[in-house]
Amino acid sequence: MSTRRPRIGVTLDVDPEKRRYEVQQAYVEAVLAAGGLPLLLPHDPSATAAYLALLDGLLVTGGAFDVPPDLYGEARRAGCGPEKPERTRFEKELLEAALASSVPVLGICGGMQLLNVVRGGTLFQDLAADAAIVGHEQPPPKDRPTHAVSVAPGSLLFRLLGPGEPEHRVNSTHHQAVRDPGIGVLVSGRAPDGVIEAIELPDLPFAVGVQWHPEAVLRHDPRHALLFAGLVGAARSGRR
């Protein structure tokens, strides 16, 4: 039996002005702690097939930018935030290819939103403007859990975070959220105000998205590390 660690691709943020890639250390540490080998993925859509040939799993990270509304058939409105088109274009192509190949995927924050969009779903461009919902952009410290998420019994997320624990405390750092779930998208977690906080694709072995940042909040509640353990475990099983 191979002892090679499952290779988990980690998407990068970018600072266009400084022309440099960036990644939160917590993402990498969470993958390593779960037994995976993180591989950082520079933005190059032409390298999608080459990346996937190396990867056993994919982590689509979050960032301080929004998914362009034209990707879900809407015109941009005033509440929509800054965009990073090159990053989004790369992540979209990579995510679509990973799903088509049943490569295990975990999408975090903006990664969850993009997961919904590639399945034909839509987003609230701004929760306050579109739904009169506030309170999902907490002040620092950003790793502190500030609200509950109810997890759907029977869902993969429920099994990952621990049966018998239908509610979890999470951090909240977003102004956008899933509005209409895409094709085949199961809503597996909601905040008390009804905002969708987790989705998954039951037609695939492992495709989960969470709106919070488990890599940060796990220092307060280690159960959130189970999301990364689930991704790495699925990657290991898929490789076999």
The residues annotated as belonging to the active site are: 109, 213, 215
Helices marked H in 101-184: 110-118, 127-131, 156-161
Cβ-based neighbour number of residue 193 at 10 Å: 12
Residue type, 212: W
CA dist 25 and 130 (Å) reads 33
Q: Are 10 and 23 in contact (CB under 8 A)?
A: yes
In 3D space, the residue among 139, 91, 136 whose CA is nearest the CA of residue 118 turns out to be: 91
Q: Are 31 and 215 in contact (CB under 8 A)?
A: no
Determine the Cα–Cα distance for residues 23 and 14; give it in Å rounded to an integer.
8
